[in-house]
Amino acid sequence: MSSSHTLHTPAAPATNASLSKGLLLLMAFAAGMSVANLYYNQPLLADIGRSFGVQPDEIGLVSTCTQIGYALGMFLFVPLGDIKERKGLITVLLSLVCLSLVGAAAAQSLAWLYIASFAIGITTIVPQILIPLAATLASPGQQGKAVGTVTSGLLLGILLTRTVSGLIGGTWGWRFMYGLAAAAMLALLILLRMKLPVSRAAASLKYGQLLSSMGQLVKRYATLRESALIGAANFAAFSIFWTALSFYVEGEPYHYSSQIAGLFGLIGAAGALGAPFVGRMADRIPTKWMIGALISLNIIAYLLFGLFGSMLWALILGVILLDLGVQGTQVANQTRIYALEPPARSRLNTVQMVTTFLGGAIGSSVGSYAWHIAGWTGVCFAGGIVGLLSFSVWLIHRIKN
């Protein structure tokens, strides 16, 4: 790479902390616990909508506000991981998300809940600080495994959240679920404050330079552009399904409660457990071919939902394939972009995840809107089109390169 194309950032400093197995597992646990804040609402949307007396498309905006907040939080705060001490940054963010969750639990109107949901999203960015930190602490040749393990914890948090939220929220109410989440974040804050190592900054930039440098990264690396677009499309497909699922299974032919709807998260966890395996494979073989195969799983999943969604076996198999495809692709994408410029890992992760969760926010709105106007058929059509879009991005880049 010529000097004219290089960001003026120093090499990442060595860290005095090694990534032990115990620390790696703690980081994975913390990623799962914190990302859960984004998804407590999904299996409870029907219940929340009834409590405020609103239609599915209106209550679906709760998920959308959360995802938009998350995308904005990643853009504003995750890059700070390259220039600030990460342990202190995580402490501040966990404190703020506690307050946001309390605000959601106390919401007295839908507008209040929209604002609280946005605040939850913008402060729930700890997982996106932990993932590049794991890559930094890992030994050479082990970054993919480290990223895969922490990402697996994050994914299990996303999926198991639906089960926990459906069972607890469906039994004691959605407000209780948000209050419990606030208490969990306070406990996590104390644990991470005790166990995380102190990290040093990887770059010497002012905040404005930090944000503007992300545009340079996008311009420079075609791999980053491809990865970000695929991430956005994949997460849109993911959110379309999970936003509409609770509405679908409470009607014909299933007639499931919120508690049962949440159990589908356990099924999806089977797919998420493949993330560490994908990470290990990404350390050994080219990720670009893995990504094409994983995207294909998303398309197959939506074919199952659309053609055989009234049959439980097809719904279960589709959930497993969708989660494995989306989450496996995310691990492979993160592994390859972290190798592009190690001192800029937090900024590379910001570009990747901001676009990914903007896609998720759009997917949440599309899912609730498609359900409102065309039911399950509309949901499956929308998800399938987005899956094909993701595959098209991958294929175009393979043809060009």
State the DSSP string of 312-353: HHHHHHHHHHHHHHHHHHHHHHHHHHHTT-GGGHHHHHHHHH
Q: Residue 122: give its domain's CATH number.
A: 1.20.1250.20
- List, in order, residues 6 or more apart from 286 with CB less than 8 Å away: none
Question: Is residue 5 included in any domain, yes or no?
Answer: no
Residues 6+ apart with CB under 8 A from 177: 40, 44, 165, 168, 169
Alpha helices per DSSP H over 106-206: 110-123, 126-137, 143-172, 174-195
CA dihedral 371→377→382→385, nearest 10 degrees, is: 180
C-alpha 275/C-alpha 272 separation (Å) is 6
Cβ atoms of 202 and 14 within 8 Å: the answer is no
For 342, the token pair is 């190690």
For the chain, count helices (H), then strands (E). Answer: 17, 0
Q: What is the pLDDT of residue 145?
A: 76
Contact present, 62 and 113 (Cβ < 8 Å): yes
Q: Is 37 among the domain residues?
A: yes
DSSP 41: T
Tokens of 99: 């307050």
- Which residue matches tokens 């606030």? 182
pLDDT at position 398, please? 83
Q: Which residues of the chain have pLDDT under 70?
A: 1-18, 141, 201-203, 258-259, 262, 271-276, 278-285, 401
Do residues 62 and 41 touch, judged by C-beta distance below 8 A?
Answer: yes
Residue 11 lies in a domain: no
Q: What's the pLDDT at 182?
A: 96
Q: What is the per-residue pLDDT for 274? A: 67
Amino acid found at 114 = Y
Tell whether 12 is covered by a domain: no
Contact between 234 and 393 under an 8 Å Cβ cutoff? The reply is: no
Residue 102 domain flag: yes
Q: Is residue 134 part of a domain?
A: yes
Classify residue 78: in a domain, yes or no: yes
- The token duo for 300 is 């197959």
In whole angstroms, give the CA distance from residue 69 to residue 161: 19
pLDDT at 386: 96
Total-model pTM? 0.73
pLDDT at position 272, please?
A: 64
Is 106 inside a domain boundary?
yes
- In the chain, the number of structural domains is 1
**Sign of torsion over alpha carbons 118, 122, 127, 132:** positive
- Print the domain residue range for 285: 19-400
